[in-house]
Structure 1
Amino acid sequence: MRKNRFSLVLFIFGLLTIAAAQAQKPTSQTIIPASNPNIAYVGRVSFTNPESPCFTYPGVQIRACFEGTSIAMRVKPNSGYFMVEIDNREPFKVASLENDSVVQLADNLDDILHQITITLAYEGYQRRPEFRGFLLDAGKTIPQLPLLPKRKIEFIGNSITCGYGIEVTDPNAPFKDETENHYYTYAAATARALNAQSLVVARSGIGIYRNYNGPKTGNKDCMPAMYTQTLFTDTTEVWDFSRYTPDVVCVNLGTNDVSTQPYDTGLLEKGYRNFLKTLRGYYPKAKIVLLSGCMLKGKPLEDVQTALNRVAREANDAGDSQVYRFDLTPADGSLGYGASWHPSKAQQYKGADELVPFLRSITGWEY
């Protein structure tokens, strides 16, 4: 009996010793800093701190090729929501909330070279997300820059371009960061269909001269006033336009300007005319497309279309043949709505299905 008890004690002691050894065994990983030259950034990113770059506009992308079976990203806690694509797998969403400085993105992958694209899904001007690098398997690295598409598009817009409320199907639902997702917008879908890089400058509620429910005379913080900022609402860093030269610029503004009464069509037209001049100054060779969005109908839609038609025609008559007009089909509810009566995912994809062939027609971009 005593012999059996002694054997049991030895057995338990052995198990505890093994467990303790395993607990003390270091789990080494390779830290890839955000400043690694083989990480590609697409969009407006502030490198004031190169080890923790900051970005606020939806659609900003981080791309890399990595070795090994797993990958995690290091971020500032509460950096919010991201879409992740690895190789040809289905995209998925991850979140960095209050205590999340490391977000696991994948494990149990084949031990080969992989490609990853991380996209900011929401408007980050309040949380101000920061990326601080990757964690890989021990001894693994990111050996080369990812191959980026040569084509480049810039999308300038409002909540439609941001993807406001796109992940819910209740039009009475309120806005939440977690239900906004730029990845499913007409803009992101258009860029993917055309195999183009995409830089996004968009903010919910913003207008060309008047923000949502603003005074008839307009707002000082409308898009033209904020456009040069690297980080939205941050006046301390002006964007370096030499960092990204688009082939095409799509401007989808005007919805908020006319969504509530009263508004001034003269100021709306003037705002677009001046902003077009600004864009042409930064991008002398780009094709600029003035879009009307899918949330308007009736007289407000007519007023926006009239203003856009006049501004485009004036530019064409003055010798600028690279200014175009395009109207997205207004939502009629048949494809559902997102939060606050914003376009559903199906409506957004319909917009991409309309816009893609138009952009092909003016650029000559083949498949």
Structure 2
Amino acid sequence: MRLLPVQVSPVSASIRYFGRWDTTDRSDYVSYWSGAYLKTAFSGRHVKLRLREVADLFVSIDGGPNVPYRQVKGVVNLTPVPLSGGDHSLRVATGSEWTSIHFQGLILDVAARTLTPLVSPDTIEFIGDSITAGYSDSMNGLSSYAWLTAERLGVEHEQIAASGICLSSTAPSCSGMDTQFFKLQTLQYPDSPLWDTRRDIPDTVVINLGTNDYNHGQTAEAFELSYLAFIQNLRQRYPNTPIYVLRTFSGYMELPTRAAVYMLNASGDRNVFYVDTTGWLTPNSSDFNDGIHPSDSGQNKVAFYLSAILQHRHAGEV
């Protein structure tokens, strides 16, 4: 009797998912938003992915570098060079906000098995625009300060971020995160279903919005009101989660951002914090790819400063 490779379904309890995934079809889990990823562990010397649709991926085995797989589909061999015997860890991530992972499972060696992966009990949710999505950076979402900050802290992470998005839906000719955040999918999907925020309550939230509101001509007064309403909506869903509100790295909408946080503090919510990012990045320097988007090195600088703040505030526990 010929033994066959082990087929692992997406529903396996040994696979953990981070970010927003549509799990409606138990044979095809679909990721949305930048930086979504899965983690698992397995025995044996080989592992393959099964993908229903074309995707751009970054794969890390045993904590190694993020290896890019461009425009792959079907059965994707992740171990053309066999691994050493024993147990191994696996992380599969999508860097770009424009691509999804249609994950149909894993293929392992004969008699191999999946194992419970090592994951942090803590998760940071980052909410932002193209800067948080890693637009123009080498690995997109994986080069973003959001991914890098969480990795520095050793915690899991989610990036709910989209290029071109404003905070406020009332900004002229701009879609707002104040509504899109509460949906499963990105702006590419105008009929996106709502996201059940009860599925995944983060331990920390970091928000970086306002650059596009400024560029679209939103008034400071309207922006402040939108920020107040957005954080209040988040608070209804995350009653005990610390929320960190960043000054945009170029200083756009700095005053209304700070005012919104202070107003929330004055009204009794002391678990919202304004983070002054002044001086973190230098304008017209190699910190930026252009006038707005941080370079890889700029993103690393932000991660250095932000991780120190989060670690200090929570005495090492995010």
Compute the TM-score of the two structures, normalised by the length of structure 2.
0.91
Deviation at 1:198, TM superposition (A): 0.6
Determine the structure 2 residue equivalent to 1:243: 199
Residue in 2 aligned with 1:312?
A: 261
Q: CA deviation at 1:347?
A: 0.1
Q: Distance in 1 between matches of 2:13 and 2:193?
A: 22
Task: Rate the CA distance shift 1:316–1:340 in 2: closer, same or farther, 3 A.
Answer: closer
> Given that residues 75 and 96 in structure 1 are in contact (C-alpha distance below 8 angstroms), is that contact kept between their aligned partners in structure 2?
no
Corresponding position of 1:149: 120
What is the alpha-carbon distance in structure 1 between the residues aligned to residue 74 and residue 67 of structure 2? 19
Classify the secondary structure of the residue corresponding to 1:76. strand
Moved more, 187-196 or 202-211: 202-211
Bigger strand share = 2
Aligned mates of 1:149, 1:198 — CA distance in 2: 10
Aligned residue runs from structure 1 range 260-339, under 5 A: 260=216, 262-294=217-249, 296-297=250-251, 301=252, 304-328=253-277, 329-338=280-289
Instruction: Tell me which protein shows more helix as a share of its residues.
Output: 1
Give identity over the alignment, percent: 26
Instruction: Give the CA deviation at 1:326.
Output: 1.0
The alpha-carbon deviation at position 90 of structure 1 amounts to 2.3
Tell me what 1:161 maps to.
132
Residues 128, 310 of structure 1: alpha-carbon distance in 2 compared, 3 angstrom cutoff? same
Q: Which residue of 2 aligns with 1:67?
A: 43
What is the CA distance between 1:56 and its match in structure 2?
A: 1.5
Helix, strand or coil at the partner of 1:279? helix
Which residue does 1:101 correspond to in 2? Answer: 74
- Give the superposed CA RMSD: 2.1
The total of aligned residue pairs comes to 312
Distance 1:49 1:360, change over 3 A: same
Cα distance in 2, alignment partners of residues 330 and 89 from structure 1: 29
Matches within 5 A, 1:40-119: 40-79=16-55, 81-97=56-72, 100-106=73-79, 107-119=81-93
User: Is 2:150 the partner of 1:196?
Assistant: no
Per-residue CA distance 1:208-255 (angstroms, 9 max, x = gap): 1169xx62xx64x31111111112244453212222111210001001
After superposition, give the CA deviation of every residue in 1:42-71 in whole Å (9 maximum; x if it has no partner).
Answer: 111111111101112111111111111111
The letter of the residue matching 2:257 is: L
- Counterpart code for 2:119: L
1:253 matched to 2:227: no
Deviations 1:117-156 (CA, angstroms, capped at 9, x unpaired): 11111113xx5431111111222121x3212101211100
Higher Cα Rg, which structure: 1
More divergent stretch after superposition (103-112 vs 343-352): 103-112
CA contact (8 A) 2:169 2:178 kept: no
- What is the aligned partner in structure 1 of residue 178 from structure 2? 224
Change (3 A) 1:322 1:291: same
- Report if aligned partners of 1:161, 1:182 keep a CA contact under 8 Å in 2: yes
Structure 2 alignment gaps of length 5 or more? none
Quickly say closer, same or farther: Cα 1:146–1:136, change in 2 above 3 A: same
1:282 Cα deviation from its structure 2 partner? 0.7
